[in-house]
């Protein structure tokens, strides 16, 4: 099934309402989404922490439509920060600016972020601003620049390797000393804005990865692509870049074998733990990233189901 079909499905609310009560769908989601509450996310984080794996908690949601919804999202993120502090979890927080009103009013979004980052500063907890579709790229970086000026590396941002503009953005962020998470990119973008072929996306990723490993401030190398991970491992080895200078990042429930392998090799690994009621759009976007994810996700669920019998 083409990736753009999954992206379209991610936007169909009526389908979400239909499958939310489907036991098979919920079983599949439970492998890749840590429940619907902060408590279940914290439990998942504590399990991952047992072998030194760090986490980032991500309350699923984006593109809110009202000020009340942004206030609720802001309160939820502050509760996550408090939960991390109260439980001693080795983790931080990931969020999207559209959760906090970027599409409603920039000033509202900034005010919400000030509330979050003020609490994060009190608790000494890092907050990552995720990147969304290209319609939000410039605005996200603009807001990030303002917040980074006020809070420094208490906050960081994400850059997507498939966008043509990303090399310039990376160079700018390195010059600021900002913390960057590098991903391939999961949104459907036109050829004039983004590379379309995986070979080109990977090539761009490698260029940006090397820039970050050479001059970045504790970058997050976020990928499940073994070829890219191996290139990173070889690059840091050849250039005497110590493991404490960066970390690998992966998604909850995806390539758990690879996560453990990297930890055994002495690398820092952080797992993004998504949770919340809005798991359906998240799942569809993950399936859209690679067609092989469909068989992988379904196969993983059935194997675990069979092992219980």
**Cβ–Cβ < 8 Å for 34, 41:** yes
Q: What is the CA radius of gyration of the chain?
A: 19
Return d(Cα 276, Cα 263) in angstroms, integer. 27
Helices and strands per DSSP (H, E), number in the chain: 13, 8
**What is the DSSP track for 221-258?**
EE---HHHHHHHHHHHHHTT--GGG-EEEEETTSSHHH
Supply the DSSP symbol for 217: S
Cα 177 from Cα 171, distance rounded (Å): 10
Any idea which residues carry the catalytic annotation? 130, 181
Report the C-alpha dihedral over residues 150, 152, 155, 158, rounded to 10 degrees.
110
Identify the DSSP state of 20: T
Contact 201, 185 (CB under 8 A): yes
Sign of CA dihedral 285, 289, 295, 300: negative
Give CA separation, 179 vs 11, 132, 164, 203, 276, in Å: 31, 17, 20, 22, 26
């Amino acid at each position: 099934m083409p990736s753009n079909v999954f992206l379209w499905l991610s936007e169909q609310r009526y389908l979400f309402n239909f499958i939310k009560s489907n036991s098979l769908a919920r079983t599949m989601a439970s492998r890749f989404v840590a429940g619907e509450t902060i408590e279940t996310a914290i439990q998942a984080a504590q399990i991952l922490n047992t072998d030194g794996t760090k986490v980032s908690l991500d309350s699923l949601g984006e593109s809110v439509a009202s000020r009340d919804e942004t206030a609720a999202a802001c309160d939820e993120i502050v509760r996550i920060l408090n939960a991390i502090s109260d439980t001693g979890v080795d983790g931080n927080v990931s969020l999207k600016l559209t959760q906090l009103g970027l599409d409603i009013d920039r000033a509202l979004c900034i005010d919400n972020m000030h509330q979050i980052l003020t609490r994060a500063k009190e608790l000494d907890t890092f907050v990552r601003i995720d990147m969304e579709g290209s319609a939000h790229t410039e605005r996200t970086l603009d807001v990030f620049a303002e917040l980074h000026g006020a809070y420094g590396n208490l906050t960081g941002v994400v850059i997507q390797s498939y966008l043509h503009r990303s090399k310039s953005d990376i160079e700018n962020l390195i010059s600021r000393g900002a913390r960057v998470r590098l991903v391939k990119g999961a949104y459907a973008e036109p050829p004039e804005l983004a590379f379309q072929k995986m070979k080109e996306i990977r090539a761009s990723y490698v260029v940006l990865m090397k820039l970050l490993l050479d001059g970045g401030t504790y970058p997050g190398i976020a990928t499940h692509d073994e070829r890219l991970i191996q290139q990173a491992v070889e690059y840091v080895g050849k250039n005497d870049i110590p493991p404490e200078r960066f970390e690998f990042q992966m998604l909850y429930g995806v390539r758990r074998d690879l996560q453990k392998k990297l930890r055994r090799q002495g690398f820092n690994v952080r797992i993004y733990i998504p949770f919340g009621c809005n798991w359906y759009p998240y799942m569809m976007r993950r399936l859209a990233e690679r067609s092989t994810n469909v068989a992988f996700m379904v196969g993983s669920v059935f194997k675990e189901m069979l092992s219980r019998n």
